[in-house]
Amino acid sequence: MTDESVRRRVVVHGRVQGVAFRDATRRHASTRGVAGWVTNRSDGAVEAVFEGEPDAVRSLVRFVREGPRAADVDRVEESEEDPEGLSDFSVR
């Protein structure tokens, strides 16, 4: 993480659970050096936090707008937050 790090929270709605969405997001985050987490919500959505270099975080946000092949994303809510200095990425 650098002083230029950004943090974005996304909530992804649609057919996003049971389609390997969390694992695909973790893999994409890992290859881009992005920290954070991803989890299934009880309302059927997937929620994630991404922290890292601005371009890498933007890449992750673009990925979740499409999702893995079996997903059907209806909409994505995105909000900006202050980075917390996360150092790894986890599936919750």
Residue 40 known to be catalytic: yes
Q: 7, 8, 22, 26: which one is catalytic?
A: 22
| Domains observed in the chain | 6-85 (3.30.70.100)
The pLDDT score that the predictor gives to residue 76 is 98
CA distances from 7 to 21, 43, 48, 71, 88 (A): 20, 23, 10, 24, 13
**Residue 41: HSE in the Cβ half-sphere, 13 Å Cα cutoff:** 13
Sign of dihedral through CA atoms 23, 25, 27, 33? negative
Residue 8 known to be catalytic: no
Q: Supply the pTM of this predicted model.
A: 0.94
Instruction: Report pLDDT digits (tens) over 15-69.
Output: 999 999 999 999 999 999 999 999 999 999 999 999 999 999 999 999 999 999 9
